[in-house]
Amino acid sequence: MTSRFFSFTGGTSGQWVVKSIRPVVGETLEPAERLSIVQGESPAGDMAGASASWRLRGITSNERYINASEKVNLVAEQSGLGRPEATCGALIPIRKSAKWWTLSQDERRAIFEERSHHLQIGMRFLPAIARRLHHCRDLSEHEPFDFLTWFDYAPEHAGAFEDLVMKLRETEEWKYVDREVDVRVVRAG
- Which element (helix H / strand E) includes 165? helix 158-169
Specify whether the backbone of 16 is left (phi greater than 0), alpha (psi in -120 to 50) or beta.
beta
How many residues form the binding site for a second copy (CB under 8 A)? 31
Beta-bridge partner residues of 93: 148
Note if the bond before 127 is cis, omega within 30 degrees: yes
**From 21-29, 85-93, 131-139, 156-164, span contacting a second copy (CB under 8 A):** 131-139
Beta-bridge partner residues of 57: 7
Interface mask (CB under 8 A) for a second copy, residues 49-78, using x and -?
----------x-xxxxxxxx-xx-------
Tell me: does residue 84 bind a second copy (CB under 8 A). no
Q: Rounded to the nearest whole angstrom, what is the least distance from the CB of residue 25 to a second copy in the complex?
A: 20
Tell me: does residue 114 bind a second copy (CB under 8 A). no
- Residue 78, phi then psi, degrees to nearest 5: -75, 155
The amino acid sitting at 57 is R
Q: Rounded to the nearest whole angstrom, what is the least distance from the CB of residue 126 to a second copy in the complex?
A: 18
What are the residues binding a second copy (CB under 8 A)? 3-5, 41, 59, 61-68, 70-71, 101-109, 135, 137-142
